[in-house]
Structure 1
Amino acid sequence: MRTFGWSIIAICIASLGLHAQEPAAPRRQANAGKRSTPEPALSWHDVKGWGLEGRAFGEMERKNWFDRLPAAAEGKVTKAVWQLGQDTSGMLVRFKTDATVIWANYQLRRPNLALPNITAIAASGLDLYAKDPKGQWRWAGVTRPNSKHVRQEIIKGMSPGMREYMLYLPIKNGIEKLEIGLPPDAKFEPVAPRTEKPIVFYGTSITHGASASRPGMTHTAILGRRLDRPVINLGFSGNGRMDAAVGDLLVKIDAAVYVIDCLPNMNADAVRRKCIPLVKQLRAAKPDVPILLVEDRRNTNSWLLPERNKHHDANHLALRECMEKLKAEGITGLHYLPGDALLGDDGEAATDGSHPSDLGFVRQADQFEPLLKACLAPK
């Protein structure tokens, strides 16, 4: 019995010893996201030296060089739109190099790196694509943000050879500086933003990019690659409402196509009140630019929610009525995308019923692509 008693005590002591070590595990977990890769010798290239694609409004003054909206928009658009315009969604930088390793050094505007429905990689990360020997854009690597100041390796050990790269900026954060790091002996060629007229998207959090897993997986980015065309992303989470003040900004862009995709932030009454004036505002300034009106996607669980389905039905009907009235008034160059198939019909393409997953964004791109090709076709 005495031996048994000592054995019990020994087991308890051992158990206590094990529990005493357990607090170390969270510390290891807290550091798990940080890159421990030693930094090699690097030459740093500031992207301000050659410019961002997807950055509209030319050389108009900005409060921050990376803002999506010009300084003149402050006080004219709503406060929410102005603040959301500080996110870098849709912007990218292009360059060529023969480097076998690529780093990034950037300063984010906000310490909140992620949101409940957007990963830190998507909200605050950089997303690198490379052009393969067949001329196709292929994913290459991402940063994994762990603080406002991110200085990380994106990819290493690449096969040698000169190739072109495209680096997407964060969806749901702003940037104050961005440098690309390459070995000092690597060749480097900046690729200036293309001068072709862009596809301009005005929309909601879905256009903004929620809930893609990374910046290159939004439908606007996918379509930019598929159509080989610059894209301007003016998605404003919760605040894409066909506002005339945003229309004043849209007409300052020399667009190839305007895509108006605001219904997820509107009800039927607002659609009837605001759609026709916005289209006429665009058409008065840009008589020949195609305008694509997009119906609301259906929430993927709306089959269970009668009131939600009624909301979608009413929104769709209101937009169709606006389309018919505009055509009856002789407004030309209008195109229309129904919403029921935007996320498919199996309920598997959203993170929260509303915002697309990567699958949802691919499906949306599939629906947009033929209509945008028709809009871009030579007349």
Structure 2
Amino acid sequence: MRLVLRTSATVLELDVRATRTRFTGRPVADAGRYEAVVDGAVVASGTAEAHGVVELDPVTGLGSRRPGPVATVRLGPLPTGEKDVEVWLPYGEITVLVALRADAPVAAASEQTHPRWVHHGSSISHGASATAPTGTWPVVAARAAGLDLVNLGLSGNALLDPFTARAIRDQPADVITLKLGINVANHDGFRRRTFAPAVDGFLDTVREGHPDTPVVVISPILCPMVEDRPGPTSIEPDSPGDAPSFRTAGRPEEVAEGKLSLAVMREVLAAVVARRRAAGDEALTYLDGRELFGEAEWDRMPMPDLLHPHDAGHRHMGERFAALLPGLAGLRR
């Protein structure tokens, strides 16, 4: 999420109510970063010092919320002169904007003409483990490719929910990307028999609103612990509180019983796309997620928690996807 405005101000102040997440027995999430971008460069950043907390039980999914006070985030100094400013909000905390102040008048930004990219994915798309909102791989890709990003990444919840398909259906879009699979493994949410029709149904709904829009289905990136065994996955209980890692409870032999490893999901996703293309949907394409982050990337940039890339991995994925997207979706850079 971002605010876009035009101003000659050199300082912006945002009064916000920020809410951060704590999983039961774990520390509160780190402060999210607010970033000001001018002419494509991050020129200032800040955080909300005070915050509320949502505490979640990762086992039951139940939680409680403690609201926090209003805090002021100061962004400056900004470059002098009239300019468009983008203020990127933290991806990992709830932000309620109470007020915005500036030391000069603020107006609507210049009209944008960039192609509109609607993306849906898991916590990796949401931004998990990136240290800043402009460092998440979809934002890196959008900035590199000159796209207007609408990121519908849902941490832990890219589960082919019908309401998500309807939200994408109803969004204006020049290109749509769907990064599917890892949360299905995390929740052990489907079997081989049910996964393919769920993907088909999701695509059917998206196509109701976008019959000819380029759609790219992206399979999971490399995740060794569930490549050849299914989920569910959970936080490793013996990992330290400030640096948790993940584990899977699935066993390789369960794949033969219909459970889904990432390898099986890639087969299913590729087959769904191939079948739909053969039936006439030539605007639908498939990308193996390992082209964004595979074995070579794992060797150079291992995931600290075994599930989410860190900054270098996000940057690599974004730059790689920006290079691939024009060929996949027929977009001109």
TM-score range for the pair, normalised by the shorter chain length: 0.7 to 0.9
Structure 1's 161 and 197: CA in aligned 2 closer, same or farther, altered over 3 A?
closer
Contact 2:20 2:92 in 1 (8 A): no
**What are the ranges of 5 or more consecutive residues in structure 1 without an aligned counterpart?**
1-90, 132-136
Contact 2:16 2:73 in 1 (8 A): no
The answer as to 2:252 corresponding to 1:331 is: no
More helix by share: 1
Structure 1's 113 and 307: CA in aligned 2 closer, same or farther, altered over 3 A?
closer
| Matched AA of 1:120 | A
Please point out which of 229, 245, 254 is paired with 1:307.
229
Q: How far apart, in 2, do the equivalents of 1:313 and 1:244 lie?
A: 25
Please point out which of 134, 152, 171 is paired with 2:73.
152
Structure 1's 376 and 341: CA in aligned 2 closer, same or farther, altered over 3 A?
closer
Match of 1:358 in 2: 311
Mapping of 1:89-104 within 5 angstroms? 91-104=1-14
Deviation at 1:211, TM superposition (A): 1.5
Deviation at 1:279, TM superposition (A): 1.7
More strand by share: 2
Match of 1:164 in 2: 84
Match of 1:279 in 2: 203
Contact 1:113 1:147 in 2 (8 A): no
Larger Rg: 1
Mapping of 1:124-163 within 5 angstroms? 125-131=33-39, 137-148=40-51, 149-156=70-77, 158=78, 160-163=80-83
Structure 1's 248 and 142: CA in aligned 2 closer, same or farther, altered over 3 A?
same
How many residues align? The count is: 274
The answer as to 2:129 corresponding to 1:211 is: yes
Q: How far apart, in 2, do the equivalents of 1:112 and 1:330 lie?
A: 45
Q: How far apart, in 1, do the equivalents of 2:112 and 2:330 lie?
A: 16
Match of 1:321 in 2: 271
Structure 1's 353 and 347: CA in aligned 2 closer, same or farther, altered over 3 A?
farther
Match of 2:235 in 1: none
Match of 1:377 in 2: 331
Q: What do residues 274-324 of structure 1 show as CA deviations (whole Å, max 9, x unaligned)?
A: 11222222224321101101010112x549x86379822112111111122
Q: How far apart, in 2, do the equivalents of 1:319 and 1:117 lie?
A: 36
Please point out which of 216, 220, 242 is paired with 1:296.
220
Q: How far apart, in 1, do the equivalents of 2:161 and 2:20 lie?
A: 30
Structure 1 SS opposite 2:320: helix
Structure 1's 111 and 297: CA in aligned 2 closer, same or farther, altered over 3 A?
closer
Q: How far apart, in 2, do the equivalents of 1:217 and 1:250 lie?
A: 24
The answer as to 2:270 corresponding to 1:348 is: no
Identity within the alignment, %: 20
The answer as to 2:172 corresponding to 1:261 is: no
Contact 1:119 1:213 in 2 (8 A): no
Contact 2:218 2:287 in 1 (8 A): yes
